[in-house]
């Protein structure tokens, strides 16, 4: 019995075997190691994506907290950014006092970004309500002001003499200079 296979079939079978052998060698040498590396990279990507989501959630929470605090403390932030003008302060609050003195205090503990002014006042008022009106006006002013105790009230005839000191904490820096210095970094 003779096997009658044509030359075309032999070429086709040999080409098919060569391609099959090439595919097996290629898959063993290139695809399988790359697949292992792919799985390792995919696990690393999942870990990195998880960390990214955690950081994004933390950022979102922090940003929401920041915006909430900024909206609640808007007046305090604007008071902190405002620079103190002693002449304007005297003009605004002179009506409450007979004498009003504003002098700058230099503290070595406080950094250059702040200027601390000490305000010594002596006033003659007809009733304590005008003093409370002054405190309300100071509370609504554009600056951060702390009234220092003791507040001394003495009766002089029909009037009440009050004496106290308060400190005004003002922004001492030039905003253009600070902005340009932060941009230079």
What digits encode the pLDDT tens for the residues 11-45?
999 999 999 999 999 888 887 887 788 888 999 99
% residues pLDDT > 70 (the chain): 74
Average pLDDT, the chain: 77
Closest CA to 165 of 117, 106, 94: 117
| pLDDT at site 180 | 45
| pLDDT digit string, tens, across residues 153-184 | 777 777 777 777 777 776 655 544 444 444 44
pLDDT, residue 66, reads 94
pTM, two decimal places:
0.47
Map tokens 């100071």 to a residue: 138
pLDDT at 122 over 70: no
Q: Between residues 92 and 181, which one has the greater pLDDT? A: 92
* Nearest alpha carbon to residue 100 among 162, 20, 145, 27: 162
Which residues does residue 103 pair with via DSSP β-bridges, in sequence order?
Answer: 118
CA distance 132 to 164: 13
Residue 68 CA to residue 137 CA, distance in Å, equals 26
Could you report the per-residue pLDDT of 94-118, keeping only the tens digit for each?
A: 777 666 666 666 554 555 556 666 6
């Amino acid at each position: 019995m003779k096997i009658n296979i044509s030359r075309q079939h032999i070429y086709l079978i040999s080409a098919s075997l060569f391609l099959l052998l090439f595919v097996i060698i290629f898959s063993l040498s290139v695809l399988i190691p790359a697949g292992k590396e792919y799985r390792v990279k995919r696990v690393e990507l999942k870990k990195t994506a998880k960390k990214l989501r955690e950081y994004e959630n933390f950022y979102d929470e922090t940003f929401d907290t920041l915006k909430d605090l900024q909206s609640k403390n808007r007046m305090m932030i604007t008071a902190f950014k405002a620079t103190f003008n002693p002449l304007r302060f005297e003009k605004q609050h002179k009506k409450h006092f007979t004498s009003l003195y504003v002098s700058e205090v230099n503290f070595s503990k406080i950094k250059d970004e702040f200027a601390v002014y000490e305000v010594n006042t002596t006033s003659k008022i007809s009733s304590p309500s005008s003093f409370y009106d002054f405190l309300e006006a100071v509370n609504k002013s554009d600056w951060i002001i702390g009234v220092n105790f003791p507040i001394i009230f003495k009766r002089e005839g029909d009037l009440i003499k009050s004496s106290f000191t308060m400190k005004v904490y003002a922004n001492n820096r030039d905003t253009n200079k600070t902005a340009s210095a932060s941009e230079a970094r």
